[in-house]
Structure 1
Amino acid sequence: MNSFNYGVEHLSIGKVIDIASGKLKGTINKEAAEGIHRSWREVEKIVHAQKPVYGINTGFGPLCDTSISEKDTSLLQSNILKSHSVGVGKPIPQETAKLMLITKVQALAQGYSGISPKTLERVIWHIDNDVIPVVPEKGSVGASGDLAPLAHLFLPLIGLGEVFAGNEKQPAGQVLKEHNLQALILGPKEGLALINGTQFILAFAIKAVERLNNALNVADLIGAMSLEGLMGSSRPFDARLHAIRPYKGTKYVAQRLASLLNGSAINGAHINCNRVQDPYSIRCMPQVHGASRNAWLHLKELTEIELNSVTDNPVVFSAENTISGGNFHGQPLALPLDYATVAAAELGNIADRRCYLMSEGRYGLPKLLTNGAGLNSGLMIPQYTTAALVTENKTFCFPASADSVPTSLGQEDHVSMGSISGRKLHMVLDNLEYIQAIELLYASQALDFRRPLLSTPVIEACHQLVRKQVPFIDEDRIFSEDINQLHQLITSGEFEAIAKEAAKQHHINLNNDDEFGIY
């Protein structure tokens, strides 16, 4: 198995997902081990010198002026894990909690946090053995780090809390005993180092970058299918048009759409028609999908910076040089997460408009995409669902980062609420994936009404995949079953994979630029 060296190598979004899935193994090499050990020894020097340093021999938050004796510095660290474990709500997904563990190791292994090698080894044991702590979804304000979720994440180190082992929720202490492991006794600063940081926000950002990337790619594919079903024009995707307004995302989408449609018999059949312009939801896909891609690029860039950053406080450069700063503050990710939420919602918004357009009975398509409209409602009501999901997404678009509620008796008087930004984005993505499944239902049906004309190899491969799961609609049936089948095709990655394979076989350039990837 390929390995990744925590703390000394650059961690990409693709790599962290590969570590979580077991495709890549994270290790501590000699260089990282030396830095970790050095930082740990510097904290011990601070304790012995009895020099007041926040969180090592002082209380926390508004108790920062309260001195802690040398003999109580260890108890202080276990107390912080217990007292800060105040999360509520459902557990976050196991993969997300695992990403929190991995990203915390990457931050601590850089050698500025005073963590002991033994503690870091135990965290890595949890990752390697898929013993994943139970972390409630709510309770972080996203500054001072994600205190509550991180406290729950690391309770198992001291034998407390719960873990998922074999997909079953079990007491952490019991699982440790089964593996002949003892609960750890944390040293000075270790509890604070574990719970200070943005790893909850970051884990949600990592998954959002992956999911939104898939949704963006799928949006172009389904949008091209819808265009063909509506007999729209490919002229708006001409490279010359986008060279004179050269946003990265817009140019990228235009090139993909032009490649997807090049050589289509459907497109060629109406090249001299008297339709001057298509509606915006067809014509402006490069501008709308492209704007969402620009937001995705911004989120990806900042997420990768955070992945390779130290978000602890205080930061230990040496026993004589510690800095109490604000690297734990979640604002750098909160803002782009809110921006990406709007970007994801807009993909759903424009997809709903295309569904509506295909159901109107225009451009040679039958009303509601059925030949027997009247006795059969056809594809009338699935668009109600897209309308409901689009509206629900709009309610999630208020930026959590626009608000701040002071905490810690005013010591922490501005917080990011980035944890809420991260969770909200995934709610929007959940809805978007269903909207895309419904558009795929409409687009596939519309394409069938263009037979015997065929589209391009990629679009035909996508259509064939759909028809293996969902037959042509000639009379009413329970459409939720079709929607769920198509949703599975999209979220599993199978739909995009088929498109990529067809593009490869037929030498079609879908513009697989590294900048728009996750590695």
Structure 2
Amino acid sequence: MTVALDGEGLTPTGVAAVVRDQEPVSVPPEARTRVRRARERVLDVLDSGEAVYGLNTGFGELVNERIPPERVADLQTNLLRSHAAGAGRECSQDEVRAMLATRINALVKGYSGVREVVVDHLVTMLNEGVHPVVRSRGSLGASGDLAPLAHLALVLLGEGEADYGGDRLPGDEALAAVGLDPLALEAKEGLALINGTQLTVGKAALAVVDAERTVRAADVAGALTTEVTMGTTASSAAIIQDVRPHEGQAESARNVRRLCADSEIVESHRNCDRVQDAYSIRCLPQVHGAVRDAVSHLREAVEVELNSATDNPLVFAGDAFDARASGTDEATVLSGGNFHGAPLAHRLDYLTAAMTDLAAICERRVDRMVNPNLQEPHLPPFLTAESGLRSGYMIAQYTAAALVNECRSLGRPATDNTPVSGGQEDHVSMSAQSSHHARTAVDHAATVVGVELLCGAQAMEFVDDQLAAGRGTTAAYDAVREVAEPLTADRELAPELERASSLVVGGVLEAAVDGALSESLE
């Protein structure tokens, strides 16, 4: 499958397909036409001799410095070199591929003014696996993700470094390996390549995909915990949700009912003397549902941002709007603030908080399965025979607690402000930091959900084997047992924690459960 980058229809799922499934990308003819027209407008403005930010002026505080025509190309090259000043860990291959895909999609909207050859070089790099070495820190989220994108774009000049075919190569050698020559940038192109939100939105798109899977997997894990702790699914009844009709809450409650359908375990204690379950089980729909709604809120912004023009200045047709000459110019170049990451930053901070809460409720359910002071009588301490001699899943719960704590340490919003560029750029978003925090929270939450799945499957070993579990929870148990055998003696748990987390974010658990539930309806 080829993913068409046309500036209009890119989705988080499409980003994930390009990034993780290595799906090739293409730019359709209508998008190429827009790119060529925008370039013609840039040339028209240059011919007019008018001072236009980023075309023939300096940047930031140096905006009033006029650049002579013969040095305009040097201006763009110097921009990339000077702005490639990132620090910290290198971006992962996934992050770099997401940046490439989203930058191409923004450029082909036709408001950036680059030549078609620039787009083609980026497409070839992405399709052929030339991954620039990008430092992850340095962005302020306005004027976009400048430093990371400068590292990304520097390879187009044959400079910087890139990973290709398992080797790290100088930029010019990496381009040559896929049949490309280094580019000599022309007016506006350097600025168009780095002025945008592509590190933020690329990571946000992947976070949306993974967070959605993690919430759905948490529903599965919670349903499994409900069964093995002899909880009730009555708190997920539709009539309860109907009188507080939050969409996410209703979806999580519906999932629990589906997952536990036909459960003889739940039925076996329907008339027991327990009045209510603990909040971590009884309030599952409310908490999971609120997280689901938070992820949807981010998805909404990401889908808009993926298909937006986020650099500055933007190039429009002359009759679109002209603040200088009432629409009489052949082209209009307008400075604005579409590079500002606030629309993503706030929602990413929201996601961090929501995923922290999801991890927290999952960890509390883990504790109810392993804690001798809270367990049901049929469960042994820490889910192991000969407890005392053995520690079982004791430390798996420690790990879950540690991850929850780290997520909580991210709880202060990354959205903040430190003025830069001599005060010209006096309010920034720090959206890249928000994306880093959100990514950490999603990853940690997925691992905690994996811990709950492992403990739920282990707890099932101590449930009366004459009682059948629900259709969905049975499929979940089977999926867990594909990556972790029953715990019959103490063993190193780290590898299976990693495999259980992969079950969650890789979609394997979801596919297994959905398949089982679909079969039951046939």
Which deviations, in whole Å up to 9, do the C-alpha atoms of 1:331-379 show, x marking residues without a partner?
0000000000111111110011011111234322223223322222333
Q: Which structure 2 residues correspond to residues 83-232 of structure 1 after superposition, within 5 A?
A: 83-232=82-231
Note closer, same or farther for the CA distance 1:119–1:468 as it changes in structure 2 (3 Å cut). closer
1:226 Cα deviation from its structure 2 partner: 0.6
Determine if contact 2:12/2:303 at 8 Å carries over to the other structure: yes
Q: Deviations over 1:174-229 (max 9, x none)?
A: 12233443211111101001110000101110110111111111101111111101
Change (3 A) 1:155 1:241: same
Q: Does structure 1 residue 350 correspond to structure 2 residue 346?
A: no
Residue 404 of structure 1 contacts residue 416 of structure 1 at CA under 8 Å; is this kept in 2?
A: yes
User: Following TM superposition, by how much is the alpha carbon of 1:22 offset from its aligned partner in structure 2, in angstroms?
Assistant: 5.6
2:17 paired with 1:6: no
Q: How does 1:490-509 map to 2 (within 5 A)?
A: 490-507=504-521
Correspondent of 1:474 among 466, 479, 488: 488
In 2, Cα distance between equivalents of 1:443 and 1:39 = 57
Alpha-carbon RMSD:
1.6
Structure 2 CA distance for aligned equivalents of residues 315 and 477 of structure 1:
59
SS at match of 2:521: coil
Please give the alpha-carbon distance, in whole angstroms, between the structure 2 residues aligned to 1:2 and 1:360. Answer: 50
Residue 362 of structure 2 is aligned to residue 363 of structure 1: no
Answer yes or no: is the 8 Å Cα contact 2:15–2:206 preserved in 1: no
Looking at structure 1, the residues matched to 392 and 176 of structure 2 have their Cα atoms a distance apart, in angstroms, of 59
Map residues 289-308 of structure 1 onto 2, 5 A cutoff.
289-308=288-307
Instruction: Please tell me whether residue 397 in structure 1 is matched to residue 411 in structure 2.
Output: yes
Which position in structure 1 is the counterpart of 2:333?
322
Corresponding residue SS for 1:381:
helix
Question: Normalised by the size of structure 2, how large is the TM-score?
Answer: 0.94
SS in structure 2 opposite 1:57?
Answer: coil
Q: Structure 1 residues 461-470 or 78-87, which shifts more? A: 461-470
Q: What is the TM-score when the length of structure 1 is the normalising length?
A: 0.94
Paired amino acid for 1:367: P
Write the distance in 1 (CA, Å) between the matches of 2:21 and 2:480. 31
Q: State the one-letter code of the partner of 2:107.
A: L
Q: Give the AA of the match of 2:196.
A: G
Query: Cα distance, 1:46 vs. partner?
Result: 1.3
User: What is the total number of aligned residue pairs between the two structures?
Assistant: 506
Identity %, equivalent residues: 39
Change (3 A) 1:22 1:434: closer
Q: Which residue identity does 2:407 align to in structure 1?
A: N
Deviation at 1:92, TM superposition (A): 0.8
- The yes-or-no answer on 1:372 pairing with 2:386 is yes
**Residues 440/195 of structure 1: CA separation in 2 closer, same or farther (3 Å cut):** same
C-alpha displacement of 1:121 = 1.1
Partner of 2:460: 447
Match for residue 513 of structure 1? none
Task: Supply the distance in 2 between the matched residues of 1:484 and 1:114 (Cα, whole angstroms).
Answer: 45
| Structure 1 residue 17, shift from structure 2 partner | 2.1
Partner in structure 2 of residue 56 of structure 1: 55
Q: Is the CA contact 1:337–1:422 (under 8 Å) kept in the aligned structure 2?
A: yes
Matched-pair contact (CA < 8 Å) for 2:42–2:331 = no
**Cα drift, residue 27 of structure 1:** 2.4
AA partner of residue 173 (structure 2): Q
Question: Counterpart of 1:458 in structure 2: which amino acid?
Answer: G
Could you tell me whether the CA contact under 8 Å between 2:15 and 2:202 is conserved in 1?
Answer: no
Task: Tell me if structure 2 keeps the 8 A contact 1:372–1:475.
Answer: no
Which SS does the other structure have where 1:312 is aligned?
coil
Question: Which stretch shows the higher mean deviation, 241-250 or 315-324?
Answer: 315-324
Deviation sequence 1:275-298 (CA, Å, 0-9, x none): 010000001010001010010000
CA apart distance, 1:439: 1.3
Measure, in 2, the Cα distance between the counterparts of 1:97 and 1:184: 20
Ranges in structure 1 where 5+ consecutive residues have no aligned partner: 509-519
Mark the runs of 5 or more structure 2 residues left unpaired by the alignment: 318-329
* Partner secondary structure for residue 163 of structure 1: strand
Q: Note if contact 2:44-2:331 (Cα within 8 Å) is conserved in structure 1.
A: no
